[in-house]
Amino acid sequence: MASSLAPIVLMILRRQESYGYQIIQELREKSGNKLEVAEGTLYPVLKKMEAKDWIEGFWKKSEAGRERKYYQITTKGKQELEEQYSQLNFINELIYKLWNLPLSTSN
């Protein structure tokens, strides 16, 4: 699960900077509450992505005065997203084609 989250997180951050809780909310919303994953496991994924320089984290005070860690996508992250996007698309098409092949009736 963890590794497949990365491109999705990149897609969310491509549009605007965000913080962990908000990213999770967006995931939840866009998946129609179907994404069943322990919310906390997103943070190690973010950390790994930060270590790979795909995203950059920085602390910022929220309106309520609490510190939150915000993330924004980097140039490297954008390149990575494009690569992963075309790869995922390719796999997706392949799956679609294979799935729709007629079932063998030879035996």
Partner 1 sequence: MEPATFNLELAIEKYIGQIKNYGSITGSDAAELKAHLYDATDELKKSRLSDEEAFIIATKRLGTEQVLNHEYEKVNTSVKVNRIWAYLFLGFNLFYSFPALILIAVGGFYQVVYQTYHSSNFSVVIVTSLHILLIALVWMFVWHKKVISKFIENEVENSALRIVLLSFTPALILFLLPASKHQLFTLAYPVREFQSHIAEFSLYVLIMSAAVAALSLVFSLNKMENLVSKSLFEKPSILFLILLSIVVEVFAASTRVIRTDNILISGLIFGSIYAILSFLIAYYNKASDVNKFLVIASLFGLSIEIFVGIHADIERGDTYNTAYFVGGMLLGISAGRKLGLGMSRENITS
Ranges within 61-90 binding partner 1 (CB under 8 A): 64, 66-69
Q: Which stretch binds partner 1 (CB under 8 A): 39-47, 75-83, 84-92, 93-101?
A: 39-47
Among 16, 29, 47, 83, binds partner 1 (CB under 8 A): 47
* Cβ proximity to partner 1, 51 vs 103, nearer residue: 51
Q: Does residue number 38 form part of the binding site for partner 1 (CB under 8 A)?
A: yes
**101 scored as a contact of partner 1 (CB under 8 A):** no
The 10 Å CB-count burial string (b at 16+, else e) for 11-45 is: ebbeeeebbbeebbebbeeeeeeeeeeeeeebeeb
- Residue of 17, 26, 39, 56 that binds partner 1 (CB under 8 A): 39
Question: How far is the CA of 68 from the CAs of 10, 43, 61, in angstroms?
Answer: 19, 13, 6
Residues in the site for partner 1, rule: CB under 8 A?
2, 19-22, 25, 38-41, 43-45, 47-48, 51, 64, 66-69
